[in-house]
Structure 1
Amino acid sequence: MSSSILSAAVQQLAPCAWYIVAGALLAFVATRVVYRRFFHPLAKIPGPFLASVTTLYQAAYNAQYYKKIEQLHQIYGPVVRINPNEVHLSDPENYDKIYYMGTRFGKAPEFYGSFCIPHATFSTPSNEVHKGRRAALNPMFSRKMVLELESIVQDKADKLCKLMAKGLRETKPVDLHHAFRCVSVDVISDYAFDKSYNLMDQPDLGAHFFVMARGIGPAMYTFQSLRWLQPLALKIPPWLAPKLSKPLGTVFALQMEGVNQIEDVRSRMEAGKLDTEARPTIFTELLKPENYPGRPVPSTMELKDECYSILVAAADTTGNAMTTAAYHIMANRDIYDKLRAELFSAFPDPHATLDFLTLERLPYLTGVIKEALRLSFGVIGRLPRVTPEPGVHFNGYYIPPGTTIGMSSWLMHRNPEVFPDPMKFSPERWLDPADFRRLEKHIVPFGRGSRQCVGMPLAYCELYVTLGTFFHRFAGLEVFKTTPHDLEYEDFFSSYHLAGRNWLRAVGPVLEKV
């Protein structure tokens, strides 16, 4: 009897329990919303209601959030709250107050942690830890080393020209979208491992590799919005990951690529097959015990993160700049003619090797490259940093310590007060020395300050040598079907052209000899 009474009582109380749980959950959410909107330290920062109370606002825009942020600035002004604990700035005068040498603004752990590479120099939140890791990379990316290894870039630029000539002989449009990216990845893999990927030799021009690199973007955004999911996802066995989630499978695939490459370099070093003095590489240097006095050499699992970040960084940023330059050169005959006239003035021999030191002194080519970097943006979205003690003031608003704050090249490079008619590709705007110095302050494709992209010297070498050589050898090339609409970007940290568009291809007359 007592048992049946107890059972009946439980049955009556069960619905009440669910109501209690649901009520408690609703109260928790409501309390959190009210706090974030009205009592949070950022409550006075203007911005949309939903952005102030949930990161799901950002998730709704995903890879197009950088465009939405621009719209928010048009509505709310130069300081906007874009996430519950994140503020975005648009005033270009603020850039050097955040991103400078010796900055006290560290990288935002929640944002950079979503890349799943905690041991990489790029994603290190602490500026002090970053300084130590960066010191190991700096020598390989110094201007001195870039000049010593310029022959690698020259070789890839020559292969690109042969690829173009082959396409012209066969009267087929040449896929420059992937070809330019091949140059960058083939250079960095040679630079990193003394074993180039040689994507330009593959029938698909490495399209499979670039799909893999692009695939990390969705995983990155998922982990930013659902932070609790990341540690669970990374415990999934590598063989199972691609079956559960294509983006997660991509993350694991790139990590395993790093493991395999580092183990290959290590084994070749131990077998004496690499002359690390005559031909240093990024990972022979990172594996040398003498470069770590008083501490152990990083493990393969730690260095794989460095490998991951270097390969992904090479996959699109420099290729985007080359694509942007080539499109506008071929689409504008005046730019094409002026560039070739300058190149032939410096290099009259049509089959000359165009050296980097001479190329970088050519003012019109420099203007072309600056415009290409400006309109390819490098990292198109925000670069989040953590506000240090005791907080800062921007445009009349106090930003408390611990707040994530950032700016973006998308807004910097398209500011009409700095760059009149900002979407116009105009090398001429860089020709006057006084204008050059003024504009240079506001172009930030590699970031700026202590966390500026370590690969900038190599990227400039690739841009000058590849574009200079390519347009020195080929006259009369034309864009095949690509329009400005096809060059729009989505933000997966690096800028990626939208899938399904007419990516850059070229057609033109055949030259007798290339």
Structure 2
Amino acid sequence: MDIITSFCFAESLNALDHKGFRHPVLVGVEVALPMYWVFKHFRPVQWIFMHTPTWLSLLMSPETAGIMGVQNVTSLVLTSTRLLLDLENKKAGESLPTRHGLFDEAMALLIAGSDTVGNTLAVGGFHVLNNPNVYEKLFNELKKNWLVLEKSLGYEELEKMPYLNAVIKESLRVSHGVVSALPRVVPPSGATIGGAYIPGGTVVGMSSPYVHMNEGIFPEAHRFIPERWLQPNSKHLEHWLVPFSRGPRMCLGVNLAWCELTIGFAHIFRKFDLKLHETTERDIMWKEYFVPHFKGKRVQSFIKLRPS
């Protein structure tokens, strides 16, 4: 969240400095996620929520104060954006986006740029720690290529490490990214999908877990196996790795996400000795609220510095 707010709004929320890492915005997003399906299928409820005064919303759900506070973070950016769009749209004869619409876009960037990468680090980190053989291989590769901890390695060097890359790909596969079926409209000419003809104009969708957990593509799909990405014929598997979706509407932050994951996994598992603490696979079971909403507590670890 600190990274995405710095990139998008030129002002970090400094969530890492907050006590217990419980920044109000993070708490607000966590509370708001279960309302996703209510808003999607019961539009009157969404209308009521959007037109409820801020003071009343806070009275009914104090935990959402963080989301309300995002308006303060984004206000300067939204004002600047409106000025720029005003100049461009006047030339094109188009109307100006509303401030509310721009705020929705800001929230989309905030959630899409934080929750997804955070989930991948948490879920992938759990599986690495839950598989001592994987943990050992990852640490040995990092130590071999990063002998002196005081000499920081850049992304260009870290991304060349095969096993680190394999761990990230497998973490992306089992954490999925967006888990809702993203809607697509079939072209007017229609399309044949899986042997069935679909008429033009039909709304279709496929959620990433159906691909990532397909035993025909990924044998032993429910096991965390980074080695599946290191086989001679593994290149074809990348076609089926779809946490960022595919096509013209795929995630525009894919390169930033890869950079965050590479640097994050490398620094965490090279610099610290980690052990799971009161955390099992049950804690990373999830419900589908557009993105995964975990049933258990977040992955926790005992952390101590590993001697260099």
Question: TM exceeds 0.5?
Answer: yes
* SS at 2:219 equivalent: coil
2:290 aligns with 493
The partner residue of 1:445 within 230, 234, 243 is: 243
d(CA) in 2 for partners of 1:229, 1:413? 33
d(CA) in 2 for partners of 1:427, 1:285? 43
Q: Residues 219-245 of structure 1, C-alpha deviation per residue, up to 9 Å, x if partnerless?
A: 32113222344334433333223445x
d(CA) in 1 for partners of 2:4, 2:87? 21
1:263 aligns with 75
Return the offset for 1:385.
Answer: 1.9
d(CA) in 2 for partners of 1:286, 1:235? 22
Report if the CA contact (8 A) 1:377-1:413 is conserved: yes
* SS at 1:334 equivalent: helix
The partner residue of 1:331 within 106, 120, 130 is: 130
The partner residue of 2:275 within 478, 483, 504 is: 478
d(CA) in 2 for partners of 1:400, 1:506? 51
The partner residue of 2:4 within 175, 188, 195 is: 188
If you compute each CA radius of gyration, which structure gives the higher value, 1 or 2? 1
Report if the CA contact (8 A) 1:288-1:297 is conserved: no
Q: Residues 137-171 of structure 1, C-alpha deviation per residue, up to 9 Å, x if partnerless?
A: xxxxxxxxxxxxxxxxxxxxxxxxxxxxxxxxxxx
Q: C-alpha root-mean-square deviation of aligned residues, in Å? A: 2.7
Cα distance change on mapping 1:206 and 1:354 into 2, 3 Å: farther
Tell me the amino acid that sits aligned with residue 308 of structure 1. M
Return the offset for 1:323.
Answer: 1.0
Tell me the amino acid that sits aligned with residue 240 of structure 1. L
d(CA) in 1 for partners of 2:6, 2:232? 36
1:6 aligns with none
2:103 aligns with 304
Tell me the amino acid that sits aligned with residue 504 of structure 1. V
* SS at 1:491 equivalent: strand
Cα distance change on mapping 1:478 and 1:290 into 2, 3 Å: same
Q: Are 1:360 and 2:159 matched, yes or no?
A: yes
Tell me the amino acid that sits aligned with residue 348 of structure 1. L
1:505 aligns with 300
Counting only pairs closer than 5 Å after superposition, residues 354-503 of structure 1 correspond to structure 2 as 354-435=153-234, 437-475=235-273, 477-498=274-295, 501-503=296-298
d(CA) in 1 for partners of 2:45, 2:137? 54
Q: Are 1:350 and 2:149 matched, yes or no?
A: yes
Tell me the amino acid that sits aligned with residue 495 of structure 1. P
d(CA) in 2 for partners of 1:379, 1:479? 26
The partner residue of 1:231 within 21, 24, 47 is: 47
* SS at 2:242 equivalent: coil
Return the offset for 1:351.
Answer: 2.3
Counting only pairs closer than 5 Å after superposition, residues 120-199 of structure 1 correspond to structure 2 as 185-199=1-15
Return the offset for 1:202.
Answer: 1.0
Aligned length: 305
d(CA) in 2 for partners of 1:287, 1:467? 40
Q: Which moved more, 1:504-513 or 1:347-356?
A: 504-513
Report if the CA contact (8 A) 2:25-2:70 is conserved: no
Return the offset for 1:315.
Answer: 3.3
d(CA) in 1 for partners of 2:149, 2:307? 11
Structure 2 portions without partners, runs of 5+: none
Return the offset for 1:347.
Answer: 1.7
Q: Residues 94-132 of structure 1, C-alpha deviation per residue, up to 9 Å, x if partnerless?
A: xxxxxxxxxxxxxxxxxxxxxxxxxxxxxxxxxxxxxxx
* SS at 2:43 equivalent: coil
Return the offset for 1:259.
Answer: 3.3
d(CA) in 1 for partners of 2:98, 2:297? 43
d(CA) in 1 for partners of 2:239, 2:153? 29
Cα distance change on mapping 1:337 and 1:455 into 2, 3 Å: same
Q: Residues 161-193 of structure 1, C-alpha deviation per residue, up to 9 Å, x if partnerless?
A: xxxxxxxxxxxxxxxxxxxxxxxx011111122
d(CA) in 2 for partners of 1:453, 1:383? 12
* SS at 1:393 equivalent: strand
Q: Are 1:212 and 2:11 matched, yes or no?
A: no
d(CA) in 1 for partners of 2:148, 2:87? 44
d(CA) in 2 for partners of 1:287, 1:191? 19
d(CA) in 1 for partners of 2:298, 2:52? 35
Cα distance change on mapping 1:232 and 1:194 into 2, 3 Å: closer
Cα distance change on mapping 1:221 and 1:266 into 2, 3 Å: closer
Return the offset for 1:308.
Answer: 0.7
Cα distance change on mapping 1:426 and 1:396 into 2, 3 Å: closer
Q: Residues 439-489 of structure 1, C-alpha deviation per residue, up to 9 Å, x if partnerless?
A: 1011100111101011111111100001101111123x2111111111111
* SS at 1:204 equivalent: helix
TM-score (norm 2): 0.88
* SS at 2:240 equivalent: coil
Return the offset for 1:406.
Answer: 0.7
Q: Are 1:292 and 2:88 matched, yes or no?
A: yes
Report 1 or 2 for greater relative contact order, CA contacts < 8 Å, sequence distance ≥ 6.
Answer: 1
Structure 1 portions without partners, runs of 5+: 1-184, 268-283
Return the offset for 1:410.
Answer: 0.8
Identity %: 33
Return the offset for 1:360.
Answer: 1.0
Report if the CA contact (8 A) 2:23-2:66 is conserved: no
d(CA) in 1 for partners of 2:122, 2:57? 33
Return the offset for 1:265.
Answer: 4.1
TM-score (norm 1): 0.55
